[in-house]
Structure 1
Amino acid sequence: MALKMSDVLTALVHASEKSANIARACKQEEELFQLLVQEKKGSEKNKKFVSDFKTLADVLVQEVIKHDMGRKFPGLEDHIFGEESNEFTNSLGGGGLRPALSVMFHIWFPGEKIKVGVCATEEDTAKLLAKVLNGNMTAAKLLASIVHHHVSIEDPDLEKVTADIPQDTMAVWVDPIDSTFQYIKGYANEKSKDGIYSKGLQCVTILIGVYDRSSGLPLMGVINQPFVACDPETCRWNGQYFWGLSYKGISICSLRNEVNAASQSADDQDEVLRQKMISQAGDNNLSVVISTSESEGIKSALSMLRLYYAAGAGYKSLCVVQGFVSVYLLSEDTTFKWDCCAPHAILKSLGGGIVDFQECLKRQKDGNLDELPELVYNTPVNGATGVDRWANKGGLVAYRCRKHLDTIMNIISSVNL
């Protein structure tokens, strides 16, 4: 069955905005938020962090996206994959999720696993959420009302794509709340440098990316940033979202609203942007965003450039999408398919992409970088288990301009790491 790409993309944007509403509601009620955190264990845990957490917001957002996309396009929900499992353990045997008490009382009260999901009615969803929320029906009703509320967004540019796409070619990666640590611990009063936040709630993103099941290449994606600016009077947060698609010669992005993508090729659309970015590609103008945990060798090699540090893989990719930096580079294997699919799709719509860093470096040294080693999203890592099955084992480089990528790789390849 063929679907209108504009319908799919619109549904993704709506799902992301509803998810952002959930994230804001959970965070803004501090008493509620303290009940939401559960530490990940075993194969779910990201080895990069000493402690890794999943929150009810994470799980609920993921389940809402599955539910809403499946209701709009029946059958697609079976091909929506994400970072989180949908189980919480109620270690109080009916008293709700309270991490500080879970360990204390686990011996006396048998654990009850609760599968979080979206029920047929708002009332039933509230009852389910109340089991996780320590019987707090007021909070459960608030979340259930957001889950079942229809989101209305006016975005005429979403209607510009007239192409169809077979439903059975699509699959979806979801990162319901990227940079969970910043979501839990991040502050609202962080200051940016050249528009880039090193930490804080601004580094939190919701990522929904669609890829081709056969080729594994990204097709379309949405990055939602729930926490952009806080109203000082109401203490309520406003957010923003970005979307893009690249499919069969058609590319369109929310950052390029003046372009009628339905009537122009990807090359035509990108020419002005490409020329502008090439003119800025001198070493003095190049900028890179990396993680504070990046290797000292990489930091040293890039020290001649404008170097920024930021939290969150999704947010660092967003910095590239927005043009705040030329490149996001990560040499380690601590990101996953759900971190990259959405921003990869948007960057492709802008003429860029995301490549495997280690493979790119190897080809650069061999003088064989004509064909870029783009990340793909349909193939697990051989022999890996748990979340590592979907790790980007060679690291990554996200870029908007090919000349910027070439310059960065030339710099890295000239240094013995």
Structure 2
Amino acid sequence: MADLLRLLLRVAEKAANVARLCRQDAHLFQLLVQEKTGEDKNKKFVQDFKTLADVVIQEMILHDVGVQFPEMSDFIHGEESNKFENGLGESVAVTVCSTEEETAKLLATVLDGDQAAAALLAGAIHQDPATIEATIDGLTVPLKPSELGIWIDPIDATSQYIEGREEALEEGRLFPSGLHCALVLIGVYLRSTGEPVMGVINQPFHNKDPGGSRWRGKHYWGVSCGGINICSESSPSDRSGEQRGLSVVLSSSEKQPVKEALTSVCGPENIMYASGAGYKILCVIQGLADAYILSEGSTYKWDSCAPHALLRALGGGVVDLAVSLQQSESGVQDPSTELTYHLPRADQTGADRWANYGGLVAYRDCSQLRSIMGALRGKL
């Protein structure tokens, strides 16, 4: 498991390098954006874009993990189809080849013969990043790779990535939108139960170097299995500072009855809004908000798997909102309400098979979860 975590941290950083490269090179970025259609489209959005960066990152992670852990290859899933259409209307299956030259040749067919752009992208795909620091020596978890599956969201909050608005982040403050909301998410789950057991989050656009020209990222990770709970972030009880009222982060499109119900327990000053499901859950992990509530079924397994593992390591979790609201008035939290990641919905097709249909609540503290459920019960 320590080897797997090291690998995921490394490939997530490679992914971040690809994401940064595609934003830094204006010519390359203009070639990359394509709108999703049909079953791949998130019905919440009028436009649901994917970029070649998304597809390349997903295929790169699948390739690199498959090389080191071939027994996992058939259980690595992602948000994106690897089909991309070039300017000639030809559909090209994007894959990562064994050599940089072969990958560049394939990418050139997607990029309408642009050899320079293809070589630039292939170089980032095949270049190993600097070592990622993580205190994981001696990590022993009684699991085998053959028992695990992986969910990848190559660039969560793609719309923010495409828009590219830059914000200077301040420690301890939630910023509702911007490039920092775009995250690389890699979650590991148990095939038998669907429990999330490991998560890696990379934030490619965390801050700029002192010269102000290049972005630097930040990574987060967590492992939760049995009695083992380790996270790169501190748990709520370890945090210093004054106590404040219960705070929540929502989507700006959240239903009005939900906003009103939460205002009664949080106060209007403690209701915040942000872009990207992954970023909103990261805000809960970091303690910038106590919970993230979504009443719609517009997130997917690839959005929640990685950050769910980190929250579990911190003593929290992510529950199915609809199922939780069906519980008794006692408010006793049943572990069966936690989201799982191994079974598709048989009554759906395409991406909808993997939607978190009941909505969700991401939380760090069970008592706060009970307060939220109490406020929402009977309102939906």
Fold shared by both chains (TM-score > 0.5)? yes
Q: Give the 3 Å change call, closer, same or farther, for CA 80–370 of structure 1 in structure 2.
A: closer
- Per the alignment, residue 26 of structure 2 pairs with 30
1:129 alignment partner, SS class: helix
Counterpart CA distance in 2 for 1:353 and 1:75 is 28
Q: Is the 8 A contact 1:302 1:411 kept in 2?
A: yes
Inter-CA distance 191–70: structure 2 relative to 1 (3 Å threshold): closer
Contact map agreement 1:190 1:199 (CA 8 A) in 2: no
User: Do the aligned partners of 2:331 and 2:370 also contact (CA within 8 Å) in 1?
Assistant: no
| 2:294 matches 1:327 | no
- State the match for 1:399 in structure 2: 363
Q: Which aligned pairs between 1:298-313 and structure 2 lie closer than 5 A? A: 298-304=258-264, 305=266, 306-313=270-277
* Cα distance in 2 between the residues matched to 1:126 and 1:149: 13
Contact 2:299/2:355 (<8 A) preserved: yes
Residues 371 and 60 of structure 1: CA distance in aligned 2, closer, same or farther (over 3 Å): closer
Structure 2 residue aligned with 1:293: 253
SS at structure 2 position matched to 1:227 = strand
Q: What CA deviation, in whole Å up to 9, does each residue of 1:197-253 have, x standing for no partner?
A: 111101101100000001011010101111111347352111101000011211111
SS in structure 2 opposite 1:81?
A: strand
Counterpart residue number, 1:363: 327
Contact 2:297–2:358, Cα closer than 8 Å, also in 1 = yes
- Matching of residue 147 in structure 1 with residue 125 in structure 2: yes
Q: Secondary structure at the match of 2:61?
A: helix
Q: Given the alignment, which residue of 139, 143, 157 partners 1:161?
A: 139
Contact 1:59 1:84 (C-alpha < 8 Å) held by counterparts: yes
Residue in 2 that maps onto 1:416 = 379
1:347–1:219 Cα change, 3 Å = same
Larger Rg: 1
Q: Which of these residues, 194, 204, 211, is aligned with residue 233 of structure 1?
A: 211
The alignment status of 1:68 with 2:46, answered yes or no, reads no
TM-score normalised over the length of structure 2: 0.94
Q: 1:371 to 1:217 in 2, by over 3 A?
A: closer
The runs of 5 or more residues in structure 1 that have no matched partner are: 93-110, 257-269
Aligned partners of 2:152 and 2:135: how far apart in 1? 23
Identify the match of residue 387 of structure 1 among 345, 351, 354: 351
| Displacement after TM superposition at 1:287 (Å) | 0.6
Q: Residue 136 of structure 2 aligns to a residue in which SS? A: helix
- Is 1:192–1:198's contact at 8 Å kept on the other side of the alignment? no
The aligned residue for residue 175 of structure 2 is 197
Question: What are the ranges of 5 or more consecutive residues in structure 2 without an aligned counterpart?
Answer: none
Answer whether contact 1:331 1:394 (CA < 8 A) is retained: yes
Deviation, 1:163, is 2.8
Assess, with a 3 A threshold, how the Cα gap between structure 1 residues 118 and 368 changes in structure 2: closer, same or farther.
same
CA distance in 2, matches of 1:160, 1:198: 38
Match of 2:157, as an amino acid? S
Q: Displacement, 1:194?
A: 5.4
- Provide the rounded CA distance (Å) in 2 between the counterparts of 1:388 and 1:135: 35
Distance 2:171 2:137 in 1: 35
Does residue 83 of structure 1 match 2:79? yes
Contact 2:169-2:175 at 8 Å conserved across structures: yes
State the 1:191 CA deviation. Answer: 6.8
CA contact (8 A) 1:360 1:372 kept: no
TM-score (norm: length of structure 1): 0.86
2:341 aligned residue:
377
Q: What letter matches 2:46 in structure 1?
A: V
Cα contact 1:289–1:329 (8 A) shared by 2? yes
Preserved contact between residue 228 and residue 240 of structure 1 (Cα < 8 Å) = yes
Aligned residue in 2 for 1:18: 14
Q: In terms of mean alpha carbon deviation, does 199-208 or 365-374 score higher?
A: 365-374
1:22-70, Cα deviation, whole Å (9 max, x unpaired): 0000011112111101111110000000011110000000000001111
What residue number does 2:224 align with? 246
Structure 2 partner of 1:171: 149
2:310 maps to 1:314: no
Distance in 2, matches of 1:378 and 1:154, equals 29
Greater mean alpha carbon deviation, residues 305-314 or residues 404-413:
404-413
Q: Is the 8 A contact 1:224 1:240 kept in 2?
A: yes
Q: Structure 1 residues 322 and 191 mapped into 2: Cα distance closer, same or farther (>3 Å)?
A: closer
Is 1:352–2:330 an aligned residue pair? no
CA distance in 2: counterparts of 1:18 and 1:379, whole angstroms:
29
Residue of structure 1 in register with 2:108 after alignment: 130
Amino acid corresponding to residue 399 of structure 1 in structure 2? Y
Q: Measure how far apart 1:84 and its partner are.
A: 0.4
Preserved CA contact (<8 Å) 1:116 1:128: yes
CA distance in 1, matches of 2:164, 2:253: 18
Q: How many residues are treated as equivalent by the alignment? A: 375
Deviations along 1:87-136, one digit per CA (max 9) or x if unpaired, are 111241xxxxxxxxxxxxxxxxxx32111111111111111111122222
Which letter maps to 2:80? Answer: E
Q: What percentage of residue pairs aligned between the two structures are identical?
A: 50
Residue 249 of structure 2 aligns to a residue whose secondary structure is: strand
Which whole-Å CA distance do the structure 1 matches of 2:220 and 2:359 have between them?
24
1:59 aligned to 2:55?
yes
